[in-house]
Amino acid sequence: MGISHEQPARLGLSGELPGRPTSGFQPRIDESAPAIADYELLRRVGRGAYGEVWLARNLTGSFVAVKVVSRKAFDHDRPFEREFEGIKRFEPISRSDPAQVAVLHVGRGDGFFYYVMELADDANAECGARNAKLGATPHSYAPHTLREDIKRQGRLPVAQCVQIGLALTRALAHLHKCGLVHRDVKPSNVIFVGGVPKLADIGLVASVDATRSLVGTEGFVAPEGPGTPQADLYSLGKLLYEISTGCDRKEFPALPPDIASRPDREALVELNAVVMRACQFDPHQRHGNAEAMLAEMELLRRGDSVQRERKLRQRLASFKKIALGLSGVAAVGLTATILVRGVVRANVYPDGPPSNNQQAEALCEKAMNILRYDGVAEFATAYTNFDQAIALDPNFARPYVGLLELNARESVPGLPTATTEVMRQIAEHLERLAPRLAATHVARAIVNWCDWKYPEAERSLLEAIKANPKYELGHTWYSWLLECYGRPEEGFKQLEIARKLAPSKVTVYRGIGNNYYAARDYTNAIAWYNESLRWEPRHAAAYGGIGQSLLAMGDYTNALGYLEKADILCGADEAATKERYESLRRAVNGGGIPAYWLLQRKWAESDTNATLYWKAVIQIRLGNTNRALDLLQQSFDTRERAGSYDNPLNQLLLDDCWDGVHDHPRFKKLLEEIGYEKVMGGRKREQT
């Protein structure tokens, strides 16, 4: 979904790998840095338990974090060696879960050991940039931690707290399953890598049965002390308390005095129910394990009530006892059947049931986390994981849901193009494996949209929303259809719902910008595209949207910078792109807007890849209406595609260049041939 300003590319996401070497910078090395082969330690950026964290650069020029643990920090050899053995054990585990900080290498030096980790995002980068490129600014780098977010914002939106809680609970579940505990969960030990929250200060990770000195932070340490899974859950509960209320953990369990006036107060009360259980004084009154806490966090993510679910389970337990006393096992079975229906309904798998193949399940879980946390730099990894999960279990529906979401709204350089046939195959697999999923209805809608079956596409999206009102993509994609159908006023309602369901999803903010563009409110469109850039500074489609809006406003001079940035982020050759846009700037400066389009026409005439639709856009911009309509008709007659599943004629009502010919008989006839008259704004439409 995106507004295309030029025919070669559908604007979407691309991510430059962090730490890409740049020329010209020669850092001043900290003379106190220990010598570590193959790594250049630039400066100290933090101190953790038993050691120091350094910003470093490897042989390829990529930036990493290196933690150095000195023997001098310990009174005896034994605890030092135990720490070293612990980190060696954690190294392979760290790379098998997306919410753990990945340990890339472990080694020893003279009087110390060290381990190399992936680098946190730069807290000082503009707009809190994810995976910031540090080539020119390593001297100002500071790791982006959850503590920094609290300092800036005071408290975080409940929906964001739930997403962070989900990631960290999954991380603890993974640690505990491997027989490890963290021992110091707190906001300053949560870093963001590619926008994804991860547990840091892994030097504190220990075996559940390890005997170690008391560690932890006052207010986060459980009453019985650290070192058990339940103690980790207690610390996580205090972390969630701080980020959701803005209160200090020592004020627990007090709620903020303005809770009654908070727009998200109901969601905060539900989250607080999870926090209260996690922070019980008696460990036996807490969640039985991280999986139990994770299940409640999943309920919150779907918008369900934790308190209602607990009451339902209590009723089920009570009825079981009554049934045992009255009629024995048969009554238990009948009563449980009656009540469990409600439980099952509240715990359906919104993305399809899990796989029986554990490796396939793990690959898919990691990929879905990358995708839904907008981990742009890792989208290629997500794509590979989905493919591998399908190869391991061809009857696993969830990776097809992931491929749908990845292909439906993201454009990633280096990945296969999402053609109509690709989308059709995804839809067919979902129809076979999980016909009732909301994602299946969305996939069916996209295929219908590609085939110009516009009413069927709308009905499928309404079915998706009916199947799962909390599936954000259903609302976001429905808003996109409504924009393309000339009904932006209805699109706003869907985007409002989508934003509540996924308040940090960059494509939702871009969608709001698209909707304002469809309503021809270019000022607000630009504001919302900028908001999406605040969440993801490398979001190409947002740059393209700003550029397109500025073109519509006649500001070609400023538009070109944004369009150039969009093309480069989409993977276009940087040098050739800069040269091309420099030519366009010279044309605008020398001959104004007509010169811009004359140059575009010259290029299109010699470009064998130029679509008929793009040539039509150029002609209408030059005032050649009949020639433009001729080309549009040819585009329709040949069923032209623009390289992806996104047929350019699907945006005929969205693109502002056609606003002046909406009443032209030939244009109206073309709209009727495509099928727009059945769904356009101002017409009576069938609702299902």
Span 128-185, pLDDT tens digits: 444 445 554 677 888 999 999 999 999 999 999 999 999 999 999 988 988 888 888 9
User: How far is Cα 615 from Cα 632, in angstroms, rounded to an integer?
Assistant: 9
The closest alpha carbon to 432, from 404, 397, 408, belongs to: 397
The closest alpha carbon to 8, from 568, 461, 630, belongs to: 568
pLDDT for 458: 96
Q: What percent of the chain has pLDDT over 90?
A: 53
pLDDT for 433: 94
User: How far is Cα 208 from Cα 219, in angstroms, rounded to an integer?
Assistant: 21
Is the pLDDT at 14 greater than 80? The verdict is no
pLDDT tens by residue, 529-543:
999 998 888 889 999
Q: Is 524 helix (H, G, I), strand (E, B) or coil?
A: helix
Q: Contact, 382 vs 402, CB < 8 A? A: yes
User: How far is Cα 500 from Cα 446, in angstroms, rounded to an integer?
Assistant: 23
Tell how strand 39-48 and strand 63-70 pair up.
Answer: unpaired
- The more confidently predicted of residues 378 and 37 is 37
Query: Residue 523: is it exposed, middle or buried by C-beta count within 10 angstroms (0-12/13-18/19+)?
Result: exposed
pLDDT for 202: 61
Q: Which residues contact 123 (CB under 8 A, 6 or more apart)?
A: 142, 143, 144, 145, 148
pLDDT tens by residue, 564-587:
999 998 888 999 999 999 999 999
pLDDT for 33: 83
User: Is the preceding omega at residue 263 within 30 degrees of 0, hence cis?
Assistant: no
User: How far is Cα 402 from Cα 384, in angstroms, rounded to an integer?
Assistant: 11
Flag the least confident range among 44-53, 260-269, 627-636: 44-53
pLDDT tens by residue, 339-384:
343 333 333 468 888 888 888 988 998 888 888 777 777 888 889 9
- The more confidently predicted of residues 235 and 210 is 235
pLDDT tens by residue, 440-462:
999 999 999 999 999 999 999 99
Angle between helices 398-409 and 438-450 (to 10 degrees): 40
pLDDT grade for 215, boundaries at 50, 70 and 90: low
Mean pLDDT over all residues of the chain?
84
Domains of the chain: 39-128 (3.30.200.20), 146-304 (1.10.510.10), 309-346 (no CATH)
User: Which element (helix H / strand E) includes 107?
Assistant: strand 103-109
Q: Which residues contact 422 (CB under 8 A, 6 or more apart)?
A: 407, 416, 645
Q: What are phi and psi of 192, to 5 degrees?
A: -115, 130
> How far separated are the first and last CA of the chain, in Å rounded?
24
CA distance to 380, 542, 559, per residue, from 550 (Å)? 32, 12, 5
User: How far is Cα 254 from Cα 244, in angstroms, rounded to an integer?
Assistant: 12
User: How far is Cα 512 from Cα 588, in angstroms, rounded to an integer?
Assistant: 30
Instruction: Indicate the Cα dihedral angle 246, 247, 252, 255, nearest 10°.
Output: -70
